[in-house]
Amino acid sequence: MCENSFVYVPEYTITSEILKNVASIEHSKAVIESQAVLPHWEQQLQKEAKIRAIKFSLATEGLIFETSEIKKYLDGISKKTSQEIENFKNALDEVDEVSQIKELDEVEIKGIHKTLTEKVLPEIKQGRYRSSKLEGGAMPEEILASMVELFDWYNSLDAQETHPILTCGIMLSQMEKIKPFDAMNSSISKLTARVCLKVGGYGINDYYSLEEFFANEKTAYLKALHGADEEDLSGWLEFFTDAMAREVSNVKEKVVLLARDTKLAKASGRVHLTERQERIVEFLQDYGLLQNRAFPKVFPGISEDSILRDLKVLMDAKIVVRRGSTKSSRYELR
């Protein structure tokens, strides 16, 4: 940061509502991190959260997709999907990569936006600040300075001494206010918040999706953001921390139930599964049944005999049951 340059300083008050919400988040986070669940259930939670993030972020942009289309693409069952779904999946992967570096500035955000808009926007607009006016956003000539000031603050001592949840909420609101790009501004704002949460230690094992809450509470979300436009972020931070507290509490309840099931599985000896056997269980949880003709799509490069041996192990463990016979067989969870 250049000496004597202007630095963005957020204005807000730590209200009792914010304190209550942050305490709830901390409690749920501690419970989640203390629970042990089977690997395939952990992967299931992460996949469900990713599906919701993609579906509801794109819905906010006016792009409606069926959950099944997103799920089949993420599972590799369908190799082709819409460009927007493919881009968003890749952008989420990039969020993971950026968060591991634990450094974030406008350059990384431009990179994520380029990934998010590949083949959707003209190349000249991918990862580049807009040059035209956009209703509700900063003037084009102010965007660069506003983004630099915002990320100077994010990397400042003031932000480091602020609770990570509040820092993420502030970054989200200011990105929504600036609207730096020609399109996908709401999505890039939420992806920025995802990076901030992961860097700050609040990635919650990638089990959560604030995008769904914000989409379902769109009116309240926009109202809270409008209040943030008036400079005092207190009301917005109450809304943001409440959303986070609700979502993480829901995740906590799911994890506690799965942890209980994990203990039962261990007690009954049903826990010793290979990675491929866990993948079969996960597939059956998602799609209800597995047939022989689907083997090449679900397990490309794996022989049918190998998959049948895995299914026999699962049937012997009374996890899976076979219906029908020979090539018409179908496999379901008990």
**Cβ contact 229:177 at 8 Å:** yes
**Cβ contact 244:32 at 8 Å:** no
Structure tokens that stand for 60 in this block? 């906010």
Q: 320-323 and 290-291 as β-strands: parallel, antiparallel, unpaired?
A: unpaired
How much of the chain is helix, strand and coil, in % rounded to 5?
70, 5, 30
pLDDT for 269: 60
User: 330: burial class by Cβ within 10 Å (0-12, 13-18, 19+)?
Assistant: middle
3-state secondary structure of 31: helix
Between vectors from CA 33 to CA 31 and to CA 36, what angle results, nearest 5°? 95
**Cβ contact 290:314 at 8 Å:** no
Annotation: CATH topology of 275-333: Arc Repressor Mutant, subunit A (1.10.10)
Q: Among all chains, which residue has been given the structure tokens 């007690």?
A: 267
Assess if CATH 1.10.3260.10 describes domain 16-261: no
* Intervals of CATH 1.10.10.10 along the chain: 275-333
What is the residue-level pLDDT of the chain in tens, covering all 334 positions? 344 456 789 999 999 999 999 999 999 999 999 988 878 788 889 999 999 999 999 999 999 999 999 999 998 888 889 999 999 999 999 999 999 987 899 999 999 999 999 999 999 999 999 999 999 999 999 999 999 999 999 999 999 999 999 999 999 999 999 999 999 999 999 999 999 999 999 999 999 999 999 999 999 999 999 887 677 999 999 999 999 999 999 999 999 988 877 766 665 565 577 888 888 888 887 888 888 888 888 888 899 889 999 888 888 888 889 888 766 788 898 7
* Intervals of CATH 1.10.3290.10 along the chain: 16-261
Rounded-to-integer distance, Cα 74 and Cα 266, Å: 29
Provide the residue type at 148 as one letter: V
Neighbours of 108 (CB within 10 A): 19
pLDDT for 283: 84
pLDDT for 6: 60
What pTM, to 2 d.p., does this model score?
0.84
pLDDT for 81: 92
